[in-house]
Amino acid sequence: MMKRILSLLAALTLLFSAALAEQAQEAPRLIEAPEGVTAALQVRQLEGGQAIGILGVESEPQQRRWEDFSTVFSGFVKKNWDQDVAFTDALWSDGHWIHLLQTGYVTLRATVTDPTPDGIVQEVVLTGYAMECAPDVQVLSAAADWAAAQYGDYGKWVSQIIFMEDHTGDWFREEPLPVWLENGYQLTFGRNTAGCPYGRVAFTEPLDAAAGYAPFRADGMATLSGERTMTALFSALAEHVTAGYMNGSVSAPQPPDSWEASFGGRIYNGMWDDCALLIYTDAEGEAVLNAVLSCLSGDTVSACMHLFPLYGALAGLDAQEQAALPGILDGHGTWEEMSALSPFCVMNGVMLQCSGEEIDGSPLPIAYICGAEMLEGPQLME
């Protein structure tokens, strides 16, 4: 049964009256939940004791720039936890521009309309690794809601409840529970399909988004641009498998010795632990043009542990950016879900696509790393 957060409407009325006197304007109207609808916030009338669910406050939608959101959110984390926040640059994934952040045991994925500082925040999802992370998810989601919605006195009152009270037991349910709506941004709590707690801040109106990259095509993979030599690749790989969260979890691969001529270039094929690594180069064997990784054991965890440092080395990512990649699917995605994204991601003009093939009745995880082709024209985000 939902907690009664405020027992007397009179206290709420006094708060609203004070805000009204200070602002010298008519107070906004509260959005009441229809009869039979469960709301996170409930107040009781002075007469009769009837509980009324409050969903938000009526207000005009106000778009929020990415730079403004990230500045406010980063400032909150720095002030309260003395931690510096490092969002990734905008990356392209399955038709959306997104920023990622890993902070403690919570991942943040923000969808924006374009990769510039002026991109508008469409959605922010914060997901904990387990239900034990729900209090952190609750507080960080409240911070994200404030950074996006920039609500008024009513919203500030609600945020204090979210910051100060633990609602792990009643707000994080399988059925998403809307908590507060103001200035066009809706805050919702729930649990995902993996049973993990999440908070979602979503703009309630669809927005036009800037074009990104074309979906992956196995029969027409674009080659990587720029200078990526075999020597530089394996040197970067040696650093990536020892840095950050990897910390030597997989071995450092050695450059393959043998190669075959193919399509005017060379194909190098070698083993890396339980993975087969295929690298396509130019005719001289210097410039890396494409790479394919397949985990022969079928272990998708091993596939990811080898794939992300390989992609990081080819895309020029640092250890922090590489560690954030699982956040594309909130850190809980299966290989099947990763493969459903086309592409899984594009960073620095380098595309990553996950896939799978049936070998003797068992799925074999395969990943392709190649160049990316830009699209033209806006698209509608919802």
Percent pLDDT > 70 in the chain is 90
Helices 134-149, 66-81: inter-axial angle, 10-degree rounding: 140
pLDDT of residue 10: 32
pLDDT of residue 377: 65
pTM value is: 0.88
pLDDT band (50, 70, 90) for residue 319: confident
Average pLDDT of the segment spanning 38-51:
77
Q: What is the pLDDT of residues 232-245, one digit of tens each?
A: 999 999 998 887 77
d(CA 335, CA 364): 10
DSSP notation for 85-146: --PPPPEEETTEEEEEEEETTEEEEEEESSSSTTPBEEEEEEEESSGGGHHHHHHHHHHHHH
Residue boundaries of the structural domains of the chain: 9-57, 66-209, 218-376
What's the mean per-residue pLDDT of the chain?
A: 87
pLDDT band (50, 70, 90) for residue 256: confident
CA 7 from chain centre, in angstroms, equals 37
